Structure 1
Amino acid sequence: MEQDPLSALRDIHLPDPGGFWPPAPGWWVLFALVLGLAVWVVVVVRRKHRRNRWLKTALAELTTLAAHKQPDPRWFNELNRLLKRAARVKFPQRRPESLSGEAWVSFLTETSPRQTADDQARFRSLVDSCWRPNPESNPQQAISAARRWLEAQRC
Protein backbone atom coordinates (compact mmCIF):
# COMPACT_ATOMS: atom_id res chain seq x y z
CA MET A 1 0.00 0.00 0.00
CA GLU A 2 1.61 2.89 -1.26
CA GLN A 3 0.53 6.27 -0.07
CA ASP A 4 0.75 9.49 -1.82
CA PRO A 5 3.45 11.55 -0.07
CA LEU A 6 1.72 14.80 -1.03
CA SER A 7 -1.37 13.89 0.87
CA ALA A 8 0.62 13.96 4.11
CA LEU A 9 1.44 17.68 3.69
CA ARG A 10 -0.57 20.21 5.64
CA ASP A 11 -1.90 23.45 4.21
CA ILE A 12 -0.05 26.75 4.83
CA HIS A 13 -1.05 28.32 8.14
CA LEU A 14 -0.15 31.65 9.74
CA PRO A 15 1.59 31.80 13.09
CA ASP A 16 -0.42 32.79 16.15
CA PRO A 17 -0.58 36.58 16.62
CA GLY A 18 1.76 37.94 19.28
CA GLY A 19 0.38 39.06 22.62
CA PHE A 20 0.18 42.66 23.64
CA TRP A 21 3.12 42.21 26.01
CA PRO A 22 5.97 43.10 25.64
CA PRO A 23 5.24 46.17 23.56
CA ALA A 24 7.34 47.17 20.62
CA PRO A 25 10.32 49.52 21.24
CA GLY A 26 8.43 52.50 19.82
CA TRP A 27 5.79 52.17 22.54
CA TRP A 28 8.52 52.14 25.19
CA VAL A 29 9.94 55.37 23.78
CA LEU A 30 6.47 56.95 23.69
CA PHE A 31 5.82 55.84 27.27
CA ALA A 32 9.13 57.35 28.42
CA LEU A 33 8.35 60.66 26.68
CA VAL A 34 4.85 60.85 28.18
CA LEU A 35 6.19 59.98 31.62
CA GLY A 36 8.93 62.62 31.33
CA LEU A 37 6.41 65.23 30.20
CA ALA A 38 4.08 64.37 33.11
CA VAL A 39 6.93 64.69 35.63
CA TRP A 40 7.97 68.04 34.10
CA VAL A 41 4.37 69.37 34.29
CA VAL A 42 4.05 68.32 37.93
CA VAL A 43 7.36 69.99 38.82
CA VAL A 44 6.41 73.23 37.05
CA VAL A 45 2.95 73.36 38.64
CA ARG A 46 4.32 72.67 42.13
CA ARG A 47 7.05 75.28 41.70
CA LYS A 48 4.51 77.87 40.54
CA HIS A 49 2.18 77.00 43.40
CA ARG A 50 5.04 77.30 45.89
CA ARG A 51 6.12 80.65 44.41
CA ASN A 52 2.57 82.03 44.71
CA ARG A 53 1.80 80.69 48.20
CA TRP A 54 2.73 84.07 49.71
CA LEU A 55 0.21 85.74 47.38
CA LYS A 56 -2.64 83.52 48.55
CA THR A 57 -1.79 84.34 52.17
CA ALA A 58 -1.52 88.07 51.42
CA LEU A 59 -4.86 88.12 49.59
CA ALA A 60 -6.49 86.30 52.51
CA GLU A 61 -5.09 88.90 54.93
CA LEU A 62 -6.30 91.65 52.60
CA THR A 63 -9.80 90.15 52.65
CA THR A 64 -9.71 90.16 56.45
CA LEU A 65 -8.59 93.78 56.48
CA ALA A 66 -11.33 94.66 53.98
CA ALA A 67 -13.94 93.12 56.27
CA HIS A 68 -12.81 95.41 59.10
CA LYS A 69 -12.07 98.54 57.10
CA GLN A 70 -12.21 101.87 58.86
CA PRO A 71 -10.66 105.29 58.28
CA ASP A 72 -8.21 104.89 61.14
CA PRO A 73 -4.40 105.34 61.02
CA ARG A 74 -3.89 101.91 62.63
CA TRP A 75 -5.95 100.24 59.92
CA PHE A 76 -3.98 102.00 57.17
CA ASN A 77 -0.77 101.04 58.96
CA GLU A 78 -1.83 97.36 58.91
CA LEU A 79 -2.57 97.58 55.19
CA ASN A 80 0.81 99.22 54.61
CA ARG A 81 2.55 96.47 56.64
CA LEU A 82 0.78 93.81 54.60
CA LEU A 83 2.06 95.38 51.38
CA LYS A 84 5.59 95.63 52.79
CA ARG A 85 5.61 91.96 53.84
CA ALA A 86 4.41 90.94 50.39
CA ALA A 87 7.00 93.18 48.72
CA ARG A 88 9.74 91.70 50.90
CA VAL A 89 8.82 88.20 49.70
CA LYS A 90 8.56 89.19 46.04
CA PHE A 91 11.49 91.63 45.86
CA PRO A 92 13.95 90.64 48.63
CA GLN A 93 16.98 92.07 46.82
CA ARG A 94 15.46 95.58 46.79
CA ARG A 95 14.81 95.61 50.57
CA PRO A 96 11.35 97.26 50.30
CA GLU A 97 10.69 96.96 54.03
CA SER A 98 13.19 99.76 54.63
CA LEU A 99 11.39 102.19 52.30
CA SER A 100 8.99 104.83 53.52
CA GLY A 101 7.25 107.94 52.27
CA GLU A 102 7.73 108.89 48.65
CA ALA A 103 10.32 106.13 48.07
CA TRP A 104 7.76 103.52 49.12
CA VAL A 105 5.08 105.07 46.89
CA SER A 106 7.53 105.05 43.95
CA PHE A 107 8.41 101.43 44.64
CA LEU A 108 4.76 100.37 44.65
CA THR A 109 4.10 102.26 41.44
CA GLU A 110 7.12 101.00 39.50
CA THR A 111 6.74 97.36 40.53
CA SER A 112 3.23 97.09 39.16
CA PRO A 113 3.00 97.76 35.44
CA ARG A 114 -0.80 97.75 35.41
CA GLN A 115 -1.15 100.65 37.85
CA THR A 116 -2.53 104.00 36.74
CA ALA A 117 -1.78 107.55 37.85
CA ASP A 118 -4.89 107.33 40.07
CA ASP A 119 -3.35 104.36 41.84
CA GLN A 120 -0.15 106.29 42.48
CA ALA A 121 -2.29 108.94 44.16
CA ARG A 122 -4.06 106.22 46.15
CA PHE A 123 -0.73 104.73 47.24
CA ARG A 124 0.46 108.18 48.31
CA SER A 125 -2.79 108.69 50.21
CA LEU A 126 -2.45 105.24 51.84
CA VAL A 127 1.10 105.98 53.00
CA ASP A 128 0.15 109.45 54.26
CA SER A 129 -2.89 108.05 56.10
CA CYS A 130 -0.61 105.93 58.28
CA TRP A 131 0.70 109.09 59.95
CA ARG A 132 -2.29 111.41 60.01
CA PRO A 133 -4.60 111.41 63.04
CA ASN A 134 -7.62 111.81 60.74
CA PRO A 135 -6.90 110.06 57.43
CA GLU A 136 -8.58 111.49 54.39
CA SER A 137 -8.08 108.38 52.28
CA ASN A 138 -10.97 106.13 51.34
CA PRO A 139 -10.35 102.61 52.75
CA GLN A 140 -12.18 100.95 49.85
CA GLN A 141 -9.96 102.67 47.28
CA ALA A 142 -6.86 101.72 49.28
CA ILE A 143 -7.98 98.07 49.35
CA SER A 144 -8.68 98.17 45.62
CA ALA A 145 -5.23 99.58 44.84
CA ALA A 146 -3.56 97.06 47.19
CA ARG A 147 -5.44 94.14 45.63
CA ARG A 148 -4.45 95.21 42.10
CA TRP A 149 -0.82 95.59 43.20
CA LEU A 150 -0.80 92.15 44.81
CA GLU A 151 -2.42 90.46 41.83
CA ALA A 152 0.05 92.13 39.47
CA GLN A 153 2.86 90.34 41.36
CA ARG A 154 1.56 86.86 40.47
CA CYS A 155 4.21 84.63 38.91
Structure 2
Amino acid sequence: MTPTDPLAQLNPLREAQPIGWWPPAPGWWLAAVLLLLAACWALWWLWRRHRRNAYRRQGLAQLAAITGEWQAHGDSAATLADTNALLKAVALQAYPAREVAAATGAAWCELLNRGMDNRHQFSAATLQAQYHPQADASDVDAHLQRARYWIRHHRGQHD
Protein backbone atom coordinates (compact mmCIF):
# COMPACT_ATOMS: atom_id res chain seq x y z
CA MET A 1 0.00 0.00 0.00
CA THR A 2 1.25 3.35 -0.93
CA PRO A 3 0.41 6.18 1.27
CA THR A 4 -1.47 8.95 -0.51
CA ASP A 5 -1.73 12.55 0.41
CA PRO A 6 -4.80 12.87 2.61
CA LEU A 7 -5.33 16.49 1.56
CA ALA A 8 -5.62 15.47 -2.05
CA GLN A 9 -8.58 13.32 -1.18
CA LEU A 10 -10.59 16.28 0.18
CA ASN A 11 -13.33 17.80 -1.94
CA PRO A 12 -12.83 21.46 -2.94
CA LEU A 13 -14.28 24.08 -0.56
CA ARG A 14 -17.64 25.52 -1.47
CA GLU A 15 -17.72 29.30 -1.76
CA ALA A 16 -20.58 31.24 -0.25
CA GLN A 17 -23.01 32.92 -2.60
CA PRO A 18 -22.47 36.72 -2.86
CA ILE A 19 -24.85 38.70 -0.71
CA GLY A 20 -27.45 40.52 -2.82
CA TRP A 21 -28.31 44.15 -2.32
CA TRP A 22 -32.05 43.51 -2.38
CA PRO A 23 -33.97 43.46 -0.11
CA PRO A 24 -32.19 45.90 2.14
CA ALA A 25 -31.81 45.29 5.82
CA PRO A 26 -34.40 46.87 8.17
CA GLY A 27 -31.89 49.53 9.22
CA TRP A 28 -31.67 50.79 5.63
CA TRP A 29 -35.47 50.93 5.40
CA LEU A 30 -35.54 53.00 8.58
CA ALA A 31 -32.79 55.29 7.27
CA ALA A 32 -34.69 55.78 3.99
CA VAL A 33 -37.91 56.65 5.82
CA LEU A 34 -36.10 59.11 8.10
CA LEU A 35 -34.36 60.71 5.12
CA LEU A 36 -37.69 61.04 3.29
CA LEU A 37 -39.31 62.61 6.35
CA ALA A 38 -36.40 65.05 6.75
CA ALA A 39 -36.62 66.03 3.08
CA CYS A 40 -40.40 66.60 3.36
CA TRP A 41 -39.93 68.71 6.49
CA ALA A 42 -37.17 70.78 4.82
CA LEU A 43 -39.35 71.43 1.76
CA TRP A 44 -42.30 72.39 3.96
CA TRP A 45 -40.09 74.74 6.00
CA LEU A 46 -38.65 76.38 2.85
CA TRP A 47 -42.14 76.80 1.38
CA ARG A 48 -43.40 78.46 4.59
CA ARG A 49 -40.37 80.73 4.72
CA HIS A 50 -40.86 81.72 1.09
CA ARG A 51 -44.53 82.55 1.70
CA ARG A 52 -43.76 84.32 4.97
CA ASN A 53 -41.25 86.60 3.21
CA ALA A 54 -43.47 87.51 0.25
CA TYR A 55 -44.17 90.92 1.78
CA ARG A 56 -40.42 91.60 1.82
CA ARG A 57 -40.12 90.84 -1.90
CA GLN A 58 -43.10 93.07 -2.64
CA GLY A 59 -41.64 95.85 -0.49
CA LEU A 60 -38.28 95.65 -2.24
CA ALA A 61 -39.99 95.81 -5.64
CA GLN A 62 -41.96 98.89 -4.58
CA LEU A 63 -38.81 100.46 -3.16
CA ALA A 64 -37.07 99.90 -6.48
CA ALA A 65 -39.93 101.75 -8.19
CA ILE A 66 -39.66 104.61 -5.67
CA THR A 67 -35.89 104.76 -6.26
CA GLY A 68 -36.49 104.90 -10.01
CA GLU A 69 -38.92 107.78 -9.56
CA TRP A 70 -36.39 109.56 -7.35
CA GLN A 71 -33.65 109.19 -9.94
CA ALA A 72 -35.95 110.29 -12.75
CA HIS A 73 -37.63 113.30 -11.11
CA GLY A 74 -35.59 114.17 -8.02
CA ASP A 75 -38.62 115.06 -5.89
CA SER A 76 -37.19 114.48 -2.42
CA ALA A 77 -40.39 115.23 -0.47
CA ALA A 78 -42.43 112.75 -2.53
CA THR A 79 -39.66 110.14 -2.32
CA LEU A 80 -39.44 110.46 1.46
CA ALA A 81 -43.24 110.32 1.80
CA ASP A 82 -43.50 107.26 -0.45
CA THR A 83 -40.64 105.53 1.36
CA ASN A 84 -42.17 106.24 4.75
CA ALA A 85 -45.55 104.91 3.59
CA LEU A 86 -43.84 101.79 2.24
CA LEU A 87 -41.97 101.26 5.50
CA LYS A 88 -45.26 101.57 7.38
CA ALA A 89 -46.93 99.03 5.06
CA VAL A 90 -44.06 96.57 5.46
CA ALA A 91 -44.03 97.06 9.23
CA LEU A 92 -47.78 96.35 9.36
CA GLN A 93 -47.03 92.93 7.87
CA ALA A 94 -44.23 92.19 10.34
CA TYR A 95 -45.51 93.61 13.65
CA PRO A 96 -48.86 93.87 15.41
CA ALA A 97 -51.06 96.51 13.77
CA ARG A 98 -51.80 98.36 17.00
CA GLU A 99 -48.07 98.80 17.62
CA VAL A 100 -47.29 100.10 14.11
CA ALA A 101 -50.39 102.18 13.41
CA ALA A 102 -49.97 104.27 16.54
CA ALA A 103 -46.25 104.84 16.02
CA THR A 104 -45.32 108.36 14.89
CA GLY A 105 -42.33 110.61 15.35
CA ALA A 106 -39.78 109.27 17.79
CA ALA A 107 -41.80 106.09 18.45
CA TRP A 108 -41.85 105.31 14.71
CA CYS A 109 -38.10 105.92 14.48
CA GLU A 110 -37.52 103.69 17.51
CA LEU A 111 -39.65 100.91 16.02
CA LEU A 112 -37.66 101.01 12.78
CA ASN A 113 -34.32 101.14 14.57
CA ARG A 114 -35.11 98.25 16.89
CA GLY A 115 -32.52 95.54 16.28
CA MET A 116 -30.58 97.53 13.66
CA ASP A 117 -26.90 98.33 14.04
CA ASN A 118 -25.73 101.96 14.17
CA ARG A 119 -24.77 102.11 10.48
CA HIS A 120 -28.34 101.34 9.38
CA GLN A 121 -30.34 103.37 11.88
CA PHE A 122 -32.89 105.87 10.62
CA SER A 123 -32.76 109.46 11.78
CA ALA A 124 -35.96 111.05 13.04
CA ALA A 125 -35.17 114.17 11.02
CA THR A 126 -35.11 112.23 7.74
CA LEU A 127 -38.30 110.34 8.60
CA GLN A 128 -40.08 113.64 9.28
CA ALA A 129 -38.47 115.62 6.43
CA GLN A 130 -41.41 114.83 4.19
CA TYR A 131 -43.55 117.23 6.24
CA HIS A 132 -41.27 120.21 5.63
CA PRO A 133 -41.94 122.44 2.63
CA GLN A 134 -38.44 121.91 1.26
CA ALA A 135 -37.07 118.49 2.09
CA ASP A 136 -33.29 118.18 1.97
CA ALA A 137 -32.26 115.95 -0.92
CA SER A 138 -28.80 115.23 0.46
CA ASP A 139 -29.85 112.31 2.66
CA VAL A 140 -32.47 110.72 0.37
CA ASP A 141 -30.08 108.19 -1.17
CA ALA A 142 -28.84 107.11 2.25
CA HIS A 143 -32.46 106.92 3.46
CA LEU A 144 -33.36 104.66 0.52
CA GLN A 145 -30.39 102.42 1.33
CA ARG A 146 -31.47 102.21 4.97
CA ALA A 147 -35.01 101.37 3.90
CA ARG A 148 -33.73 98.60 1.61
CA TYR A 149 -31.58 97.19 4.41
CA TRP A 150 -34.47 97.40 6.90
CA ILE A 151 -36.89 95.60 4.60
CA ARG A 152 -34.39 92.81 4.05
CA HIS A 153 -33.15 92.39 7.61
CA HIS A 154 -35.77 93.47 10.14
CA ARG A 155 -36.91 90.80 12.57
CA GLY A 156 -40.66 90.57 12.48
CA GLN A 157 -43.13 88.98 14.84
CA HIS A 158 -42.92 85.61 13.02
CA ASP A 159 -39.15 85.53 12.44
TM-score where L is the length of structure 2: 0.75
Q: Distance in 2 between matches of 1:128 and 1:71?
A: 15
Partner deviation per Cα, 1:32-83 (whole Å, 9 max, x = no partner): 1111111111112112112211111111111111111124322211110100
Partner of 1:3: none
Q: Is the 8 A contact 1:115 1:149 kept in 2?
A: no
Deviations 1:72-131 (A, max 9, x none): 322211110100011111112553133222221121122x32244x7332xx23322221
Output one character per residue of 1:7-47: Cα deviation in whole Å (capped at 9) or x when no partner.
Answer: xxx97756755643322211111111111111111112112
Residue 49 of structure 2 is matched in structure 1 by 48
Letter in 2 for 1:75: T
Mean alpha-carbon deviation: is it higher for 79-88 or for 44-53?
44-53
Which residue of structure 1 aligns with residue 121 of structure 2? Answer: 119
The higher relative CO (CA closer than 8 Å, separation ≥ 6) is in: 1
Q: Residue type of the partner of 1:120?
A: F
Q: Distance in 2 between matches of 1:18 and 1:107?
A: 66
Q: Does the Cα contact within 8 Å between 2:126 and 2:143 map onto a contact in 1?
A: yes
In 2, distance between residues paired with 1:79 and 1:22?
A: 62
What letter corresponds to residue 135 of structure 1 in structure 2?
A
For 2:102 and 2:62, locate their aligned partners in 1 and report how far apart those are by CA, in whole Å. Answer: 21
**2 CA distance for matches of 1:15 and 1:128?**
85
- The separation in 2 between residues aligned to 1:152 and 1:133, in whole angstroms, is 32
The 3 A distance-change label for structure 1 pair 145 and 101 is same
- Counterparts in 2 of 1:67 and 1:61: CA distance versus 1, 3 Å: same
- Give ranges in structure 1 of 5+ residues lacking alignment: 1-9
- Gap change, CA 1:13 and 1:59, over 3 Å in 2: same
Gaps in structure 2 of 5+ consecutive residues: 1-10
Partner of 1:140: 141
RMSD: 2.4
- Native 8 Å contact 2:122 2:143 kept in 1: no
After TM superposition, the score normalised by the length of structure 1 is 0.77
How far, CA to CA, are the matches of 2:36 and 2:146 in structure 1? Answer: 43
